[in-house]
């Protein structure tokens, strides 16, 4: 009998497992794909995240941040956003007396650091190569695998992503849609350019063009556009794709070589509820968001922090845990909805070429750069400092 079973050992699920184990609970994590080992010679992975200061603080409390630092990451100190460069908004860490705004880190390395920490904790069991067939709800939750092995737990956490099997097995509904745009990630190596510490994003009517600095002289470009356009771009060889990037990205992008590319659709999904008796959803299993501002995994880590805060001191009584999980939901659901709606509002405002709106939004960006206290408050929210 486990105190907590977590289905999904990605960044968010593994973080929740460590935090709950540090509170003295007996935890089992189901994860079929474990992160591969790290080698400094490896090229950067395609999947990266912008980790804000709140998420960094959580990872420090879990004892994994120093492990990430031993591998590789890229701190960024400034973020620039514009449509017309004459109306550019700059967010600088110096305005908040911080050393950086955040870090660009490969997802695999975060997950790897978490699992290295898990190996050090005796009260976490990791189950791999098992496919879950069914979940029976009740005072004790029964999790049955395809090979008919049975696991029992007092609490079940679904952390298994946007297509969550746990959410479906619990018959928790969701609302959302797929955006008309797709995104293309392009890993590049800068030519004759030192590591940068500025991330930037230009809005265009067909979608943003973004630059994320990685470690050393590596970087990642993100190209948002229609599904048809992204499909065309992914079929180009690297030489022709580079020509398209040079023609469509800002001139401030220095010379580069393309390493690899990947594309993905943009979706929004929000579970109708986060908890059901002694079961709960966290991370992408509860919500997926437009990646416009890189808030996805940061929202998941905020879920973990609030869940840990509410589970602190739990006496392992099954009846009392439902109220703790409900309190977590009452805090996180409206906060996540607000961030999702804010990203959608920004997305809708800039995804058009209507002249009056173009004038207004550029005026807004220009004003935002000099907004003083309001600008600082926006930065604090993005960095998780409020």
Report the range of poorest mean pLDDT among 164-178, 185-199, 268-282, 361-375: 361-375
User: What residues pair up with 222 in beta bridges, in sequence order?
Assistant: 185, 210
Strands 78-82 and 89-92: antiparallel
Q: For residues 57-84, give the mean pLDDT.
A: 94
CA angle 284, 332, 98 (to 5 degrees): 90
Question: How far apart are alpha carbons 194 and 141 in whole angstroms?
Answer: 53
Q: For residues 286-313, give the mean pLDDT.
A: 90
Say whether pLDDT at 370 is over 70.
no
Q: What are the angstrom distances between the C-alpha of 105 and each of 215, 244, 300?
A: 9, 27, 16
Question: How far apart are alpha carbons 381 and 383 in whole angstroms?
Answer: 5
136: left (phi over 0), alpha (psi -120 to 50) or beta: beta
Q: For residues 35-57, give the mean pLDDT.
A: 95
Q: For residues 2-7, give the mean pLDDT.
A: 98
Question: How far apart are alpha carbons 72 and 109 in whole angstroms?
Answer: 8
Please give the residue that has the higher pLDDT: either 107 or 205. 107
From 147, 187, 132, 140, select the one nearest 4 (Cα to Cα). Answer: 140
Domains belonging to the chain, first-starting first, are 2-52+107-176+268-350 (3.50.50.60), 182-214+221-266 (3.30.9.10)
Say whether pLDDT at 380 is over 90.
no
Q: How many other CB atoms are found less than 10 A from the CB of residue 325? A: 23
Please give the residue that has the higher pLDDT: either 373 or 361. 373
User: Positive or negative CA dihedral for 117, 107, 58, 91?
Assistant: positive
Q: For residues 74-99, give the mean pLDDT.
A: 86
From 298, 281, 280, select the one nearest 289 (Cα to Cα). Answer: 298
Say whether pLDDT at 8 is over 50.
yes
Please give the residue that has the higher pLDDT: either 314 or 353. 314
- Predicted local confidence at residue 355, as pLDDT: 42
Residues 6+ away with beta carbon under 8 Å from 331: 306, 310
Question: How far apart are alpha carbons 346 and 335 in whole angstroms?
Answer: 17
Question: How far apart are alpha carbons 122 and 297 in whole angstroms?
Answer: 27
Say whether pLDDT at 354 is over 50.
no
- Predicted local confidence at residue 359, as pLDDT: 46
Q: For residues 200-227, give the mean pLDDT.
A: 92
- Predicted local confidence at residue 339, as pLDDT: 87
Q: Is 15 exposed, middle or buried (0-12, 13-18, 19+ CB in 10 A)?
A: buried
Report the range of poorest mean pLDDT among 86-95, 118-127, 149-158: 86-95
Please give the residue that has the higher pLDDT: either 43 or 380. 43
Residue 357 backbone phi and psi in degrees, to 5: -65, -35
């Amino acid at each position: 009998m486990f105190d907590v079973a977590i289905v999904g050992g990605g960044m968010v699920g593994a973080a929740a497992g460590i935090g709950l184990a540090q509170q003295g609970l007996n935890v089992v994590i189901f994860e079929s794909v474990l992160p591969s080992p790290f080698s400094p010679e490896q090229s950067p992975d395609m999947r990266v995240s912008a980790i804000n200061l709140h998420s960094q603080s959580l990872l420090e409390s879990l004892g994994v941040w120093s492990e990430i630092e031993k591998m590789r990451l890229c701190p960024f100190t400034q973020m620039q956003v514009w449509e017309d460069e004459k109306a550019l908004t700059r967010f600088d860490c110096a305005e908040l007396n911080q050393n950086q705004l955040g870090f660009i880190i490969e997802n695999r390395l975060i997950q790897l650091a978490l699992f290295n920490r898990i190996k050090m904790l005796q009260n976490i069991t990791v189950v791999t190569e098992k496919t879950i067939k069914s979940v029976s709800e009740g005072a004790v939750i029964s999790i049955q695998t395809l090979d008919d092995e049975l696991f029992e737990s007092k609490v079940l956490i679904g952390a298994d992503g946007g297509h969550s099997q746990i959410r479906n097995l619990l018959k928790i509904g969701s609302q959302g849609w797929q955006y008309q745009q797709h995104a293309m990630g392009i890993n590049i190596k800068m030519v004759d350019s030192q590591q940068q510490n500025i991330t930037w994003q230009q809005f265009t009517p067909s979608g943003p063009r973004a630059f994320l600095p990685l470690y050393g002289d590596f970087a990642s470009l993100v190209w948002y556009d229609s599904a048809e356009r992204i499909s065309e771009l992914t079929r180009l060889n690297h030489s022709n794709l580079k020509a398209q990037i040079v023609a469509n990205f800002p001139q401030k992008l220095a010379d580069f070589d393309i390493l690899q590319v990947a594309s993905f659709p943009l979706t929004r999904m929000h579970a109708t509820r986060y908890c059901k008796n002694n079961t709960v959803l966290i991370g992408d299993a509860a919500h997926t968001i437009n990646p416009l501002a890189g808030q996805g995994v940061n929202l998941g880590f905020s879920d973990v922090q609030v869940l840990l805060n509410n589970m602190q001191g739990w006496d392992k009584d099954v009846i009392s845990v439902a109220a703790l999980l409900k309190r977590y939901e009452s805090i996180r659901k409206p906060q996540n909805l607000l961030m999702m709606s804010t990203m959608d509002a920004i997305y809708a405002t800039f995804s058009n070429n209507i002249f009056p709106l173009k004038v207004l939004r550029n005026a807004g960006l220009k004003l935002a750069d000099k907004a003083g206290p309001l600008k600082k408050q926006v930065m604090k929210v993005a960095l998780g400092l409020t």
